[in-house]
Structure 1
Amino acid sequence: MAEDTAAPRDRRPGFRGLPRGLRVTTYVAVLVVLTLVAGLATFVVLARRPLPQTTGELVLPGLTGEVEVVRDEHGIPQLYADTLDDLMRGQGYVHAQERFFEMDVRRHATAGRLAEMFGEDALETDLYVRTMGWRRVAERELALVEPSTRTALEAYAAGVNAFLAESSPTETALEYTVLNAGGLDYHPEDWTAVDSLAWLKAMAWDLRGNMAEEIDRVLTADAVGARRAAELYPAYPYAEHAPIVQQGAVVDGVFEQDATTGGTRNPQRAPFTAAQRAPLAALGEGLARMPSWLGRGEGLGSNSWVVDGEHSATGEPLLANDPHLGVGIPGVWMQMGLHCRRVGPECPLDVAGFTFSGVPGVIIGHNADIAWGFTNLGPDVTDLFVERVRGDTWRYDGRRRPLRVRTETVEVAGGDDVELTVRETDHGPLVSDVDEAVARVAGAAGSRRSGPERDEYAVALSWTALQPGTTADAILGLNAATDWDSFRDAAADFAVPAQNLVYADRAGHIGYQAPGLVPIRRSGNDGTVPSAGWRPENDWTGEFVPYDGLPRVLDPDEGFLVTANQAVIGEDDYPYFLTGDWDRGYRSERIRRELLDGGELSVADMGSLQLDDRHPLAPVLTPYLLDVRLRRGYADDGQRLLRGWDFRQQADSGAAAYFNVVWRNLLELTFHDELTGDQRPDGGSRWMGVVEQLLERPRSPWWDDVATDDVVETRDDVLAAAQLAARDELTSRLSPDAGEWRWGDLHRLDLRSNTLGESGIGPVERMVNRGGWEVGGGSATVDATGWDAREGYGVVTAPSMRMVVSLGDLDESRWVNLTGVSGHPFSAHHTDQTDVWAAGGSLPWVFSREAVLDAGADTLTLVPADGD
């Protein structure tokens, strides 16, 4: 097959390698640190200095009463206070104790200030974030949120800052010791309410929808033509994979779960010219270089489902959730409980679950009355517009309009400041300008004009997250909700990222609500490819799908609900366009079938279903592989493993190892001769759908290798070649003996620090990284340990946590985190849950005060300062 000589895209979590500015100082830092730690005792002191105090008393200024922090054997804290202000102040303090370096890096990322810490190699990311203006939007949001939310944000920030005031950098995080030993001389700034709001923009970016697909569709069509490109984006299989909501429709703008109606649109558009495609290609490459921990935006998914009492062995609802995100260390979640000692209007929280360090409240979890879970709704909330730009103007509807222009200065550690000019049209910022700005910094030619002034092409980004929203209100509202109505009222404020919300309550109800800002487009734009920005018919209308018109259901007829990123509702039953780029639905349908056949489920049954590792394509593809006759002996060893295989992908499965290596080789042999870069298959659910259809067309042009002029390959030729290549690869990677092949030997979970863990310096990486877990599962599987076929077999996305909530007895609930609660590399709680997670286990999730105290291993009391 033709070989792509372009440098491969690095999709590992974290930076693509530590930025050069930090790389130099880190070499110095390593020498200094190694000198300091020549004695083991000194090293232990440096490593343990940042570990938090978890017993006794500490003064927290601003408190009106005592805050108890009860930690269990895994360090998971449960906080008790008399006022909401004290509770939020205590949460900020505890988050900072465990995770401040992570919080600090995140706020630099969302403000476009990473280069201040990490030098020139972080500059491109800063330029993209500054161009989009994440922090500018967050600053405007602070004025929009409810006064009570702002008060909570400020109390939380005060708790963080109380920790910083009493802690030197070396007492805050080991990473600061390394950085400052290299001469950075860094002291963290105070935390602000805007820092908390800005992180929600990063999560919205991570779950932003189909922006990458918009670019890929255009570039794929350019490579193989529009008709063949369309074959690589098959329509959602509604007949085989049920949507989330299977009843109801919109009547007079309101979704009614017992009604029926429908609507659709089908815009036509002219293809882009080569000149118009050029900035799209450059933009796609640039966005791919943004650190994946800041947001992959593709290949992500989640599972959640809820069953009512008739389907539950407890007689009350059960709710399960496991969001799938990029892997790294520390993980994105920190478990925590927030409890008002006396719950009432002035102190309404009695909640526990998974929090974001840096953000007050609980993101996913349960309180004393309700439970909720998230999966990514995945609506199309981003559009790219190709603009015709001349000088400081852009063309629209036959006229020229002035660009909005602002200038920002980006500080660079170890280098000169960089001045960035941000230009915007009415559609949004010109994100393609970043490519030119990077070229200027690198000393390459980068002029917007050459010769006579004429229109040039740039790409603007429209994205719902670039307008201020009230998601922070929704988080605290969900924490305090007591029933379906108050839950829906809180969800109405959830702007971005739009999520599927599943619900259960202790009164026995279950439900689903789709919230979020989803734009309504004009007739010329269906959101699948970039649009011509000079044509008004391509614009957004300025209106959004009304909240009351978004799908929802309470106590569905089936008695359960499944959300796993599949279509939300049937395409003929719903008048609004949400997206055409749903997950293919393999996970959701597998879960549905298991629920239909499972009878009454226990908490353990729900947890077992989260670990279901059956490959969705294997039942379809395996018979085709076995029909190909291979030479007996060495060549057909893999086929012998496939005979009788149950299609499960346990870590110790030899058949799973062979099948997945065949799959990767099949994709390469079929598509790499005509597709390049990010257009090549990652092996996820969309590509499974593509190959499933191609298997029925043995002489499709896709099977033919365009590099072999005298041969026209067919399906069976490729299936044979893929199996032979897989046999050779497994022999080289694992063993000549097929009996020694194990999927877990290829499919490993490595957790890398997003900063120092990518330094390329052995002692530093060993200090902060952890790895080597052999896991089962795979892409598009319920146990969604995703891997990227363009790179290898290592885990790149995974369930970031797993939880099962028992509404009949909240103390019987279970949870587990991908990593641990601590961000400190030498804490006992840095990865103490990873072993449990990788083994498919979970931890008791106690909630009642009696159970929390009984499980408590350490208690810290935060007390007011004298005079408070």
Structure 2
Amino acid sequence: MALVFRWLVRLTAALLAISVIAVGLVYWLASRSLPEYTAEVEVPNLARAVEIVRDNANVPHILGQADEDVFFGLGFAHAQDRLWQMTVMRRTAQGRLSEIFGPRTLEIDKLLRRLDVYALSVASVEALDARTQDALRAYAAGVNARLDQINTEALGRGAPEMFLFNAPMAPWRPADSIAIVKLMGLQLSGHLDAEVMRARVSLALPDEARLRDILPDAPGDGVAALPAYAQLFPTAERFATVAPYTAHPLSPFKRTALAGASNAWAAAPSRSASGGTLLANDPHLGFTAPAIWYLARLELETGGVIGGTIPGIPAVMTGRSARLGWGLTSSYLDDQDVYIEELNPANREEYRTPEGFKKFRTRASIITIKDADPVTLTLRWTDNGPVLPGTHYNLATITPPGHVASVNWTVLSQRDTTLQAAMEIMRAQTVADGIDAASLYIAPSQNLTLVDGETIAMKTIGAMPKRDPAHQSKGRLPSPGWIATNRWQGTLPYTANPGFVSPAGGILGNTNNKTVDRAFPNHVSYLWGDTQRVQRWQRLMQGRQVHTRDSFIEAQLDTVSFTARSLLPLIGAELWFTGEAAPDGTPERLRQRALALLAEWSGEMNEHLPEPLIYATWLRKLQERLIRDELGPLADEFDHVEPLFIERVFRDVEGASAWCDVFQSAPVETCADMARLALDDALIDIDERYGTALQSLRWGDAHQATHDHPVLGSVPVLRYFVNIRQSTSGGDNTLMRGRTKGTDPDPFHNVHGAGYRGVYDFADPDSSVFVSSTGQSGHFLSRHYDDLAQLWRRGEYIPMSLDQDLARAASVGVTLLIPQQ
């Protein structure tokens, strides 16, 4: 027995030693790819020396004698800190994820190939002017210089993920940067999903009034009634009933509820306490680790610019120079139309056009798949655009037999000058210059907010499709592609894009709300991203005669829900202070306690309070009860509460209270019944999920910000190193927006919000501030992987200064790039 014990001890010690050695080896290999910021590096294809000074937040200040040299330095810095992120984004745009991830990403690759994003990006290079092409080549040379350094100095393949996935990094090309711009366009648009959803609900709800309830228009003048979707295709015998749709963390295609969003507001000198213009911007995207944003300063020949860049794109997309500030918000411009194309029954390689049947344009494309046989796709295009698979956003459910779906989309331009516009905005010196520069912007459409020393302005930028006034569905539903009046007739002139310059009130802003109410086809959109946050924004802006940098920060971080304040008195009108006192332990007593808490609540979605969780769960359960019997399984698609729907129902607008009656039951339920039952549902759900007294609940426990690594975030053990989770305030409809996931098992996880915040004061530009949601580095062993995350969570910022001396003070390193001899 003693001998056995000794050998067990020896074996255990040996295994422990081997484990320690293995862990040490893994750490050593992974740490090899940590960039050395204090270094002098000889690089090819560089004309003059470039200095990269990284301030104490690891924000690179890139100093050079010519613009091309500065863009070279930005490419080098991006590749130092975000090489894996750039690799994955480029492969996504190319439709080549399956080469490293295997079959699980095949559907993403198929869709990107069908859209032909990368080929369109290659073609767009020739549409750019010489200066932009030079900048793209210089940026690509900077990225490739870092790749050369990794290879020659054996720097751990450049990122720890490269050890886990065999992902050889091909040299960067100018077209790669355009492809990433287009990739952002795919992520920011929700009109395709919205068209399909409207069609599906139209098939389920033939009553036009009920369709307006569940998919309400933003407040304002109404629109002409649309035909029922089935009437557009009277010969169709049936539609598909089931089509799978599964979101993947690497997919750029987001449901409407999680498409682009953002905030921006500006104040003229007359409304500023300092006498200078003010600008605040916080664009919203899905949370990831690292964040999509990378803070940087570029010293261009026209002066310094600083702000948020996106790795792979050589431009400051939101930020400021010494004279001009610019910010972006999603405009919700309707830049997508889905078409239903009729196939020729005698030849399925042809589709109907206004002139008769015509052959599809086709091309074969081979997808290489790790650990599986390659797949050959036949890509097909119509005059309206590429043909899409029926699985995409459940298109099969609204496509009649003998038909296929295609899409026309401005992002699919092969003469895309968006990146040239972004470059010119950086060089602009005045608001007028910035508006002129943005005329070249194609997609994704944005609202560009600009301020210079005296002027504030907002302009919708991006190509606006020109539709025929006789369009059957006005772009709101998929329409027959063979009818000439449904087809696009080019694009409208840039002057038709809405714009606001120097408004009389001295304040302008956008929370993705409806900005104009123009008649179709100059309407901009029927789908808007916000009807709620703008109400709170108006109150905060008009509550002060003058504003400061701090009051703009206060508005960015505001967590009061106008929605909660307006809906709770409506849905609880017949529940508060009614009925007799109930004994402890009964559902009635628990309901009374919840109502008592909500009665005293201000509507602030504070992470430390229980009321936001009770309110959010109640509204979620209420909408579920209202729509489930009418929509059946389609109700699962409505995973976020629509406040306008709830208001229409409880105010009985156009008979909307009909939703309260469960038509499959004999009794006639009232809206008060639904509110009471939903509150009971909510309290049961809260007890099962959190199991604590109501007063002890914390909204932040449910509303955790999920900055997850898109690839390693679900890997056991590793996920604890690469994911960043934080308790957060805010909600779906607060200015500090924390969009919830909406689906079980964690419906209130905060998955979409401000990955970047910036506030600029042009009375004292160097007092401007900004922050990103994670950190500058994409390397999870770096201290800069998450060092900004806690600042972001607490609503703190870092200086946004163009002062070189301030950048050098306590810098984390200075990299000198010198031309190779």
Q: Same fold by TM-score, threshold 0.5 exceeded? A: yes
Q: Tell me whether 1:214 sits opposite 2:195 in the alignment.
A: yes
The offset of 1:584, in angstroms, is 3.7
Q: How does 1:228-239 map to 2 (within 5 A)?
A: 228-238=210-220
1:218 is matched by which residue type in structure 2?
Answer: A
Deviates more, 1:607-616 or 1:630-639: 630-639
**Structure 1 residue 509: Cα displacement:** 1.1
CA distance 1:619–1:272, change in 2 (3 Å) = farther
Asked whether 1:717 is paired with 2:673, we answer yes
Contact 1:137–1:467 (Cα < 8 Å) also in 2: yes
Per the alignment, in what secondary structure is the counterpart of residue 217 of structure 1?
helix
Question: 8 Å contact 1:275–1:457 — kept in the other structure?
Answer: no
In 1, the alpha carbon distance for the partners of 2:241 and 2:65 equals: 54
Match of 1:46 in 2: 29
Confirm or deny that 1:766 pairs with 2:720.
yes
Report the Cα offset of residue 490 of structure 1: 1.0
Residue pair 1:128, 1:434 contacting (<8 A) in 2 also: no
Query: Residue in 2 aligned with 1:133?
Result: 116
Q: Secondary structure at the match of 1:200?
A: helix
- Equivalent position to 1:651, from 584, 588, 607: 607
Give, in angstroms, the shift of residue 464 of structure 1.
0.9
312, 324, 329: which one aligns with 1:375: 329
* Structure 1 match to 2:11: none
Pair 1:176-2:157 in alignment: no
Match in the other structure for 1:278: 239
- String of CA shifts for 1:109-156, please: whole Å, max 9, x gaps: 001111111001111110011001101110110010111111111111
Q: Give 1:405's aligned residue.
A: 362
How much has 1:188 moved relative to structure 2? 1.2
Q: 1:308: which partner in 2? A: 268
| Residues 1:556 and 2:503 are matched in the alignment | yes
Residues 1:326 and 2:282 aligned together:
no
Q: 2:178 pairs with 182, 197, 202, which one?
A: 197
Once the 2 structures are TM-superposed, how far is the Cα of residue 297 of structure 1 from its aligned partner? 4.9
Structure 2 residue corresponding to 1:459, chosen from 383, 388, 405: 405
Corresponding residue number in structure 1 for 2:531: 585
State which of 368, 375, 384 in structure 2 corresponds to 1:427.
384
Structural mapping, 1:407-556, within 5 Å = 407-432=364-389, 456-468=402-414, 469-506=416-453, 508-522=454-468, 523-525=470-472, 526-542=474-490, 544-556=491-503
What corresponds to 1:815 in structure 2?
Answer: 770
Distance, in Å, in 2 between the alignment partners of 1:655 and 1:455 is 50
* Per-residue Cα deviation, 1:437-488 (whole angstroms, up to 9, x for no partner): x99xxxxxxxx9xxxxx97110011111111210010111011001122211
Tell me the residue number matched to 2:551. Answer: 605
Matches within 5 A, 1:666-815: 666-675=622-631, 680=636, 682=638, 684=640, 687-697=642-652, 700-707=657-664, 709-758=665-714, 761-771=715-725, 773-791=726-744, 792-815=747-770
Secondary structure of residue in 1 paired with 2:590: coil
- The answer (yes or no) to whether the contact 2:516–2:523 under 8 Å persists in 1 is no
| Cα distance between partner residues in 1 of 2:254 and 2:401 | 33
CA shift, 1:304, in A, is: 0.3
Amino acid at match of 1:110: A
CA contact under 8 A between 1:215 and 1:280: conserved in structure 2? no
Does the C-alpha gap of structure 1 residues 470 and 635 become closer, same or farther in structure 2, counting only changes over 3 Å? same
Q: Which amino acid aligns with 1:211?
A: L
Distance in 2 of aligned mates of 1:157 and 1:498: 26
1:750 CA displacement: 1.8
CA distance, structure 2, for counterparts of residue 209 and residue 96 of structure 1: 31
C-alpha deviation, 1:766, in angstroms: 2.5
Q: What amino acid sits opposite 1:639 in the alignment?
A: L
Partner amino acid, structure 1, of 2:730:
G
User: TM-score, normalised on structure 2?
Assistant: 0.90
Offset, 1:271: 3.8
Deviation at 1:733, TM superposition (A): 2.4
- Is the Cα contact below 8 Å between 2:628 and 2:635 reproduced in 1? no
Which residue identity does 1:653 align to in structure 2?
Answer: L
Decide whether aligned partners of structure 1 residues 275 and 410 sit closer, same or farther in structure 2, where only a CA change above 3 A counts: farther
The alignment partner of 1:166 has SS state of helix
- Using the TM superposition, name which of 405-414 and 48-57 deviates more: 48-57
8 Å Cα contact 1:218-1:277 kept in structure 2: no
Aligned-pair distance for 1:682? Answer: 4.4
* Farther off after superposition, 48-57 or 190-199: 48-57
Counterpart Cα distance in 1 of 2:160 and 2:506:
50
Q: How many residues are aligned here? A: 778
Q: Which residue of structure 1 lines up, in the alignment, with residue 8 of structure 2?
A: none
Displacement of 1:676 after TM fit? 5.1
- Structure 2 residue corresponding to 1:337, chosen from 297, 304, 316: 297
Distance 1:178 1:424 in 2: 37
Contact 1:292 1:326 in 2 (8 A): no
Supply the distance in 2 between the matched residues of 1:672 and 1:577 (Cα, whole angstroms): 33
Matches of 2:717 and 2:248, distance apart in 1? 26
Read off the aligned partner of 1:840 and give its amino acid letter.
G
Q: Structure 2 vs 1, CA of residues 33 and 459 (structure 1 numbering), >3 Å: closer, same or farther? A: farther
Q: Aligned pair in 2 of structure 1 residues 280, 114: CA closer, same or farther (>3 Å)?
A: farther
Q: CA deviation at 1:211?
A: 1.1
Secondary structure of the residue that 1:429 maps to in structure 2? Answer: strand
Are 1:94 and 2:77 counterparts?
Answer: yes
CA contact (8 A) 1:815 1:844 kept: yes
C-alpha displacement of 1:809: 1.4
* Runs (5+) with no aligned partner, structure 1: 1-31, 240-262, 341-346, 440-447, 449-453
- Is residue 389–residue 455 contact of structure 1 (8 Å, CA) maintained in 2? no
Partner of 1:444: none
CA–CA separation in structure 1 for the residues paired with 2:207 and 2:324: 48
Distance in 1, matches of 2:277 and 2:541, equals 13
CA contact (8 A) 2:190 2:254 kept: no
- Residue 7 (structure 1) aligns with: none
Q: Secondary structure at the match of 1:305?
A: strand
SS of structure 2 residue aligned to 1:487? helix
Is residue 2:320 matched to residue 1:361? no
Equivalent position SS for 2:718: helix
Residue 433 of structure 1 and its aligned partner are, at CA, apart by 6.2
1:329 partner SS: coil
Farther-moved stretch of structure 1 (697-706 vs 586-595): 697-706
Secondary structure of 1:392's partner? strand
Does the 8 Å contact 2:464/2:497 carry over to 1?
no
Change (3 A) 1:699 1:195: closer
Counterpart amino acid of residue 841 in structure 1 = E
- The CA distance in 2 between the partners of 1:37 and 1:133, in whole Å, is 48
Residue-by-residue CA offset, 1:148-183 (whole Å, 9 max, x unaligned): 11111111111111111121472400001122xxxx
**Partner of residue 576, structure 1:** 522
Q: C-alpha displacement at 1:520, in angstroms?
A: 1.3
Contact 1:388 1:455 in 2 (8 A): no
Tell whether the 8 Å contact from 1:817 to 1:833 is kept in structure 2 after alignment: yes
1:72 maps to: 55
Displacement of 1:287 after TM fit? Answer: 7.5
In the alignment, the residues of structure 1 paired with residue 280 and residue 392 of structure 2 have an alpha-carbon distance, to the nearest angstrom, of 43
CA distance in 2, matches of 1:120, 1:397: 40
Could you tell me whether the CA contact under 8 Å between 2:769 and 2:798 is conserved in 1?
A: yes
CA–CA separation in structure 2 for the residues paired with 1:505 and 1:147: 28
- Residue identity matched to 1:514: T
Gaps of 5+ in 2: 1-14, 583-588
Q: In 2 relative to 1, CA 138–810 (structure 1 residues): closer, same or farther, beyond 3 Å?
A: same
Q: How does 1:131-170 map to 2 (within 5 A)?
A: 131-168=114-151, 170=156
